């Protein structure tokens, strides 16, 4: 296990909704009902969600669930060879993404940072070297009550989100029980109209009609 040092701060893994750090980019969720109504859970293309470095195949899809089920600990994703996780999340249309909630594992397995990338389908770990659209330092959140606000100008209209978790609080593996995405669904993808190109040559049936007319004219 890597040694993990925190400078100028003491992390209490039982801190719940409290935060004693300056420059926090999150708010406490006070109304569970209204938060659930803003959830984009039903607007995710769930079968196409892809998680890299997951210990159990397809377990990364299970952490996207209704907000009221966020405390269900039977579904989670755990990293495999190291603490990194990367999740590619397609939406069913364009969305305005406003905030994110991350409920991590117990103790040091909780993610300590996430990096968000918009509209970069099929990202891999090699692609995470580019600058993220937004980065958050996460605080332990056992109840899924910390709401991280996204930059409105950057995430005002997106169709795909990649979440990269580079590290946790010191464990060899990262565990996540729930990730919630909140905002507005703008519009579904436009159904493309496929136009058929017909052959320029005439239909053989047309030739038959013309031949019959010509024969009739000759008989007369």
pLDDT in tens, the chain (220 residues): 444 333 333 344 444 444 544 345 666 655 565 577 799 999 999 999 999 999 999 999 999 999 999 999 999 999 999 999 999 999 999 999 999 999 999 999 999 999 999 999 999 999 999 999 999 999 999 899 999 999 999 999 999 999 999 999 999 999 999 999 999 999 998 754 434 444 444 555 544 444 454 455 454 4
pTM: 0.76
Written out in words, the top-level CATH class of the domain with range 26-219 is mainly beta
CB-based contact 85:79 (threshold 8 Å): yes
How far is it, in rounded angstroms, from Cα 47 to Cα 56? Answer: 16
């Amino acid at each position: 296990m890597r040694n993990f040092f925190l400078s100028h701060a003491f992390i209490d893994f039982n801190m719940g909704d409290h935060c004693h750090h300056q420059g926090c980019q999150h708010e406490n969720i006070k109304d569970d009902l209204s938060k659930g109504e803003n959830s984009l859970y039903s607007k995710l293309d769930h079968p196409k969600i892809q998680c890299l470095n997951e210990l159990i195949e397809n377990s990364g899809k299970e952490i996207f669930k209704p907000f009221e089920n966020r405390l269900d600990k039977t579904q989670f994703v755990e990293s495999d060879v190291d603490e990194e996780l990367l999740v590619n999340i397609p939406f069913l249309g364009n969305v305005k993404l406003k905030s994110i909630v991350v409920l991590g594992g117990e103790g040091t397995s909780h993610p300590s940072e996430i990096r968000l990338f918009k509209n970069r389908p099929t990202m891999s770990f090699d692609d995470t070297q580019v600058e993220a659209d937004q980065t958050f330092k996460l605080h332990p959140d056992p109840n899924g009550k910390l709401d991280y606000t996204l930059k409105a100008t950057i995430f005002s209209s997106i169709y795909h989100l990649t979440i990269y978790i580079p590290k946790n609080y010191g464990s060899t593996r990262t565990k996540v029980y729930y990730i919630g995405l909140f905002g507005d669904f703008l519009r579904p993808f436009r159904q493309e109209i496929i136009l058929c190109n017909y052959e320029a040559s005439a239909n053989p049936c047309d030739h038959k009609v013309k031949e019959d007319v010509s024969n009739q004219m000759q008989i007369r």
